Amino acid sequence: MSKMQFTGAAAHMYRKTFWLLYSMEKVMAFHFGRSSSFVDGDIACPIPDVPEATSAGFNWFLPQIRFSRLLSRAYTSLYSVGVSSNPSSYYLGVVEQLRAELEQWRISLPDTGFRPGGSIRPQAMLQRQSRSLALMFHYFYHSLMLTLCRTTLWAAPGSGDAEALARAERRKHQALFSARAVLELTAVIDVEPYTQVCVLAGIPITALFVLFDMVIQDGGVRTHETQTNLALLDMAAGHFSRIEYASGGTLPGSLIAEFAHVARDYINGKPRDGLPIETETRADPADDPLTTLPPEQAVSLASVDQATTTANWSFMPQPEAMPTLDNGLQMTGEYGVGTDVMDLFNYFVPDLDPMFYDGAGAWKDSSTSTWG
């Protein structure tokens, strides 16, 4: 199409279509762990002025392209095969530069609900289209921030001098802030076919795993922050249950919701203020006269008409026969033990999948937690 020599309105439409496809492809390729089909150095198409791409007084066309270019640079500079053997100092330098550019991009957005961390939240926007657009920009920002923070912790986990420890602590707090922001905004996600998969499920899954990991790695210390994190995990559980309901059970989002239950059970099983957990001692029912039937009320199996009762018997397996997890949750139904939650929505979770980044094993053992 580049050889067609379009002019006038046709050229404008061609340029607009190209950059829309470029933005969509860059976002989807990065969030699905695929290399992009567009080579930035081979692009000579000018960016057109698109006044119709305006919502609530904000023209989103150019900011979306700028963010897509930032994603492209992040992939080629951090996750391409050609840089997999570079030392940790290289990754730390690139991450800091990308973080500075990401912050500049954030500040360039208007503080009318579109700017992440701004004074107006997307929930306050009345128009549905503007709210969905603001949600997309918030998720894009926090998703890339989570990726950069995890890359920093993976390349330099904070073992060594005081500066490295302080840097790792700052990245943990930034990752915690972004993960919380993502899960808080799940309440305004439109569970509809037109919502992008990365916004609908991919980015919330990443934030849920990050927050879940932090809750567990904190050792079960009960603080106000822990209770807030558990509440946000419950909000995410409700969102994924909405996905399962909207899909008629095709997408088992309730499997993701189980992580919130596991985290809460883990915290509730920890002692308070160093005191041991009080366990309730139940008396033997045989010793309780209120639970012992008198002889005249005993039922004789011989007196039961089996021909009329077997049709009402339940042949479902008893709870004792079902596999259970350590936390007591019963795994029943089609999606039991062995379901790959990472691929539940055909979406990868960066740094939680040890096969994603080439050379990642040289940074840190993938079997250990990023936050440990």
pLDDT band at 94 (very low <50, low <70, confident <90, very high): very high
Q: Is the pLDDT of residue 167 over 70?
A: yes
CB 177, CB 148: distance < 8 Å: no
Name the percent of the chain lying above pLDDT 90: 38
Q: List pLDDT tens digits, range 299-336.
A: 333 333 433 333 333 333 333 333 333 333 333 444 33
Decide if pLDDT at 263 tops 80. Answer: yes
Residue with tokens 């946000």: 232
Q: Is the pLDDT score of 204 beyond 90? A: yes
Q: Give the pLDDT confidence of 265-276 residue by residue, as tens digits.
A: 888 876 654 444
pLDDT category at 156 given cuts 50, 70, 90 is confident
Banded model confidence at residue 360, pLDDT cuts 50, 70, 90: very low
CA 312 to chain centre: 44
Arithmetic mean of pLDDT, 34-48: 89
What's the mean pLDDT in 269-285? Answer: 48
Average pLDDT, the chain: 75
Sign of the C-alpha dihedral computed for residues 233, 235, 239 and 244 taken in this order: positive
Tell whether the model's pLDDT for residue 240 goes beyond 70. Answer: yes
> pLDDT band at 138, cuts 50/70/90?
very high
Average pLDDT for 225-251: 91
pLDDT at residue 294 greater than cutoff 90: no
pLDDT at 8 > cutoff 60: yes
The pLDDT score that the predictor gives to residue 3 is 60
- Specify the range with the lowest mean pLDDT, choosing from 183-187, 244-248, 343-347: 343-347
The answer, yes or no, to whether residue 61 has pLDDT greater than 70, is: yes
Residue that the structure tokens 């160093």 belong to: 274
Q: Write down the H helix ranges in the chain.
A: 8-31, 61-74, 88-108, 128-155, 162-184, 197, 203-217, 224-246, 254-268, 306-309
Do residues 114 and 133 touch, judged by C-beta distance below 8 A? yes
Two tokens, residue 103: 């912050």
| pLDDT of 216 over the 50 cut | yes
CA distance linking residue 144 with residue 95, whole number of Å: 11
Q: What is the mean pLDDT of residues 157-167?
A: 74
User: What band does 154 get if pLDDT is binned at 50, 70 and 90?
Assistant: confident
Q: What is the pLDDT of residues 105-117, one digit of tens each?
A: 999 999 999 999 9
C-alpha to C-alpha distance for 208 and 228, rounded to whole angstroms:
13
Q: pLDDT (tens digit, 9 = 90+) per residue, 170-182? A: 888 999 999 999 9
Place of tokens 């922001």: 181
* Number of residues that make up the chain: 372
pLDDT at 292 over 60: no
| Ranges 7-11, 158-162, 182-186: which has the least confidence | 158-162
